Amino acid sequence: MKQLDLFTAAENAPVPAAFAARPRPAAAAEPDAPRSAPPSAKARIPAPRRVAPLPSGNPRDAGRRLGEAVAETWHASDWGGSRIDIPVGIIGGLALFPLKGHTQDVTRIITTSSDYQLLQGYREIYVHTWARRPDLGARMAPLMGWLTEDGVQEKAHAVRRVTETALRHGILQLTGSPDPCHRSGTDVMSWTITALRSHGARRGLGEYHTPPELCEAMAALLVGDEPPQKGRRFHEPAGGTGGMFRALAQHLRRLYLDPADYVWALNELEPIAAAGAAVNAIVWGLGPNVVIACGDTLARGDLQEQAVRERRALFEERDRILARTAMVEAVREARALAERIAPTV
C-alpha cells in the first residue's frame, strides 16, 4: 500500500514530504499552503554515509552543551518566556528524524527549507512517529501541540534559530546513527529540559534529573554481570525522561543483550518530561514493550494498568485510521485506472 511508504523502518524511511520538496527561500514561505504532500514526497537520499564525529568531547558533555545552547537561543527570542514546549518539541523532532545515517544530507535539507517546509517537516516527523508507535506518539502530545496553533507561522524565525543551534551543536551526531547504542550515548531531552527550566521551576516541580553517572552505577548494581532473563520488567515510578532506562539499556548491550527483549514501565508526573521519555524510548531503541504513564503515582496506584489499556486502544485506533486511509487511496487509484482504460466514446 503506497499510503504506508512514509511509515517504513527508520533506516529505509523517506525524507518527510515537506523537507523532500524543492527548497525555497524564506521570503517565499507559504503560511496558508495546504498540508497535502508535494509530488516529490517519495524522494529518498541515497546510500547512508557514516555519522560525523561529535564536534568535541564525549556524548554526555555534548548533550549538556546542546541543552545550554538551545536554552540560550530560545530565551533570547521573542517567544522565549516560560514556554518550553516549543524548543523541547524541536529537539524531540530532530532526534526522531526518521532517516538515520545521513547527518550531512539531513542538515542540508533542513537548513535550506522554507519556513513553511520547516514547520510542516516537524509535523510530519511526529505523524510518522505516531503511525509507527501511537502509544508513544500520544504521550508526545505536549511537544507537538504548538505546531497546530493559530499563528504558528509567526514563530518560524525562533523555530529556525533553535533548529540551527541544535544542528550546530551536534543533535544529529548524537541521535542520527542507525545504531541505537550510538544514539544512547546521552539524554538530549533531559539536558534540554533541565537547561530550559529555571532553578525555581525545577524546585517547584520537585524535578531533579538523576546524574548519568549515578544511573550507570545503579544499573550495574541492579543487573550485575549475569544476563537477566528475557521478558524481565524494569519499572521506574518517577522516571523523568528515562535516564535510568538509558543506563540499563547500555548495560544490557554490554552483556550482548537486546533491550527490546525486556519490558520497560515508567511513570512520570510532569507531562513534558514524560513526553521526553517517549522520544527517548524510540531514540534509544528500547523496543516494543514500553509503557509510559503520566500522573501522580501517590494519588493513582493504577497508572501503569491504565496506561496499558490506553496503549491497546491507541494501537486499535491507529489500525482503523490507517485501514480507512488505505481504502480511500485504493479507491482513488482504482478510479484513476478505470479512467485510463475506459474506452473513449
47-51 — which CB contacts under 8 Å span 24+ positions?
48/11, 48/100, 48/101, 48/102, 48/178, 49/101, 49/102, 49/103, 49/104, 49/105, 50/101, 51/101, 51/103, 51/172, 51/173, 51/176, 51/177, 51/182
Phi first, then psi: what are they for 338, rounded to 5°? -60, -40
Residue-averaged pLDDT of the chain: 81
For the chain, the farthest-separated pair of C-alpha atoms sits apart, in whole angstroms, at: 80
Model pLDDT, residue 209: 67
CA dist 133 and 152 (Å) reads 26
Q: What is the pLDDT of residues 145-180, one digit of tens each?
A: 999 999 899 999 999 999 999 999 999 999 999 999
Q: What is the pLDDT of residues 191-236, one digit of tens each?
A: 999 999 864 454 444 556 678 888 888 888 888 888 999 999 999 9
Q: How far is CA 223 from CA 247, 249, 275, 311, in A?
A: 11, 11, 26, 28
Phi first, then psi: what are they for 108, rounded to 5°? -60, -45
Q: What is the pLDDT of residues 250-299, one digit of tens each?
A: 999 999 999 999 999 999 999 999 999 999 999 999 999 999 999 887 77
Model pLDDT, residue 225: 85
Residue 264, classified by CB atoms within 10 Å of its CB into exposed (0-12), middle (13-18) or buried (19+), is buried
Q: What is the pLDDT of residues 4-27, one digit of tens each?
A: 333 334 444 567 777 766 444 444
3-state class (DSSP) for residue 99: coil
If one compares 309 and 258, the residue with the highest pLDDT of the two is 258
C-alpha triplet 96, 115, 98: angle, nearest 5°: 15
pLDDT of residue 37 exceeding 60: no
Give kind and range of the element (H or E) at residue 221. Answer: helix 212-223
User: Which of the four pLDDT bands, split at 50, 70 and 90, describes residue 305?
Assistant: confident
* Cβ contact 220:249 at 8 Å: no
Best CA proximity match to 128, nearest among 104, 176, 95: 95
b/e sequence 154-188, b meaning 16+ C-beta within 10 Å: ebbebbbbbbebbbebbbbbbbbbeebeebbbbbb
**Site of grid cell 521506574:** 236
Residues 6+ apart with CB under 8 A from 338: none
pTM of the model: 0.80
H-only helix segments in 47-155: 59-75, 85-95, 103-111, 115-132, 134-139, 141-144
